[in-house]
């Protein structure tokens, strides 16, 4: 029974000090993540010209072709809620559930706004770029060249 209460303690408490957690979180990037860098490098090799982190479009797409109104988001699985419905009860604190739910809602609003403005939008999961790089990059290239 004691093992079970230990699990409950861990569920409500962070295993790191506030200082250590802050240090860990400060190292998480929002731009130029490994999946993004893989995509940027490969698309340039394939002679596809694009703008990175295009600030003039809602949501700041990671890859944008503004003249063609094409936007691609390369989203981190945890931060943008991949499989969130299944995973949300495993998150240790209410804060994290609310944070990711907010990210999901913001992403939906930004994609909807882009589509209303005539943009074609693609979302790519970071893990897909890392695990099935070639297939995912081919899908991105097809999406970009489709127009």
- Rounded to whole angstroms, the maximal C-alpha distance in the chain is 62
DSSP for residue 99: H
pLDDT at position 51: 96
The per-residue pLDDT for 13 is 56
Burial (CB count <10 Å: 0-12, 13-18, 19+), residue 8: exposed
Along the 147 residues of the chain, how does pLDDT read in single tens digits? 344 433 334 444 567 787 776 666 655 666 788 999 999 999 999 999 999 999 999 999 999 999 999 999 999 888 888 988 888 777 777 888 888 899 999 999 999 999 999 999 999 999 999 999 899 999 999 998 875
DSSP strand pairing (63-65 vs 51-52): antiparallel
Distance of CA 106 to the CA centre of its chain: 12
Could you tell me which of 44, 46, 37 has the C-alpha nearest to residue 74? 37
Domain at 29-145: CATH architecture: 3-Layer(aba) Sandwich (3.40)
The whole-number pLDDT of residue 30 equals 66
Q: What is the pLDDT of residue 41?
A: 94
């Amino acid at each position: 029974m004691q093992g079970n209460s230990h699990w409950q303690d861990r569920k409500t408490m962070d295993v790191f000090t506030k200082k250590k957690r802050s240090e860990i979180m400060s190292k998480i990037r929002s731009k130029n993540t490994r999946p993004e860098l893989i995509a940027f490098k490969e698309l340039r090799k394939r002679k596809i010209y694009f703008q990175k982190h295009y600030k003039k479009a809602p949501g700041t797409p990671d890859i944008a072709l503004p003249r063609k109104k094409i936007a691609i988001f390369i989203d981190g699985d945890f931060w943008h809620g991949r499989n969130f419905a299944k995973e949300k009860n495993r998150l240790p604190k209410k804060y994290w559930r609310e944070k990711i739910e907010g990210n999901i809602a913001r992403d939906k609003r930004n994609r909807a706004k882009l589509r209303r403005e005539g943009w074609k939008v693609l979302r790519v999961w970071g893990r897909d770029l890392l695990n099935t790089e070639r297939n995912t990059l081919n899908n991105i290239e097809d999406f970009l060249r489709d127009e």
